[in-house]
């Protein structure tokens, strides 16, 4: 009997792997962390991400924008004013990141950080209490 699971088809993209690939590089989650706080300009993001080059930040922002996670808004001013913010789709990532934060906190032998990704989200008995957007 053949396996009917589409995950075994060569042209099928695993949904979990798709998200992991998108967020699994060094800077994407940190960029999202900053954008969960508020809109940010390039300089503000670079200041908040020491060690991230302008080129790398631009690549990450373009990747996130191409996936509909980040919105780039250009204001017609001199000098140009560009702001980045999360889209509705980008906001859908928060419960996943909160769950990863909680898991990492449980696994690590250190005090938890005060991460903006989990601001305003309640955690009950070591389990994340969030609801996914519908």
Phi first, then psi, for residue 73 (nearest 5°) are: -115, 125
- Give the pLDDT mean for 63-70: 96
Q: How far apart are CA 131 and CA 76, in angstroms?
A: 38
Q: How is residue 120 written in tokens?
A: 């305003």
How does the average pLDDT of the chain come out, rounded? 84
Q: How far apart are CA 121 and CA 100, in angstroms?
A: 13
pLDDT digits (tens, 9 = 90+) for 9-30: 888 888 888 888 888 888 999 9
Q: Which of 48-57, 74-83, 125-134 has the highest mean pLDDT?
A: 48-57
Work out the number of other CB atoms within 10 angstroms of the CB of residue 39. Answer: 13
- In the prediction, which pLDDT does 131 show? 46
Contact indicator for 69, 93 with CB cutoff of 8 Å: yes
pLDDT over 90 for what percent of the chain? 46
Work out the number of other CB atoms within 10 angstroms of the CB of residue 57. Answer: 18
Q: Which domains does the chain have, with CATH numbers?
A: 7-87 (1.10.10.10), 93-134 (no CATH)
């Amino acid at each position: 009997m053949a396996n009917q699971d589409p995950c075994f088809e060569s042209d099928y993209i695993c949904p979990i792997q798709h998200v992991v690939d998108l967020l699994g590089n060094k800077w994407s989650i940190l960029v999202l962390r900053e954008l969960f706080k508020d809109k940010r300009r390039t300089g503000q993001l670079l200041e908040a991400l020491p060690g991230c080059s302008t080129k790398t930040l631009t690549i990450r922002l373009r990747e996130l924008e191409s996936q509909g996670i980040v919105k780039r808004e250009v204001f017609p001013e001199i000098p140009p004013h560009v702001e980045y913010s999360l889209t509705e789709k980008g906001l859908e990532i928060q419960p996943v990141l909160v769950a990863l934060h909680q898991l990492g906190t449980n696994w690590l032998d250190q005090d938890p950080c005060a991460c903006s990704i989990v601001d305003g989200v309640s955690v009950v008995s070591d389990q994340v209490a969030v609801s996914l957007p519908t």
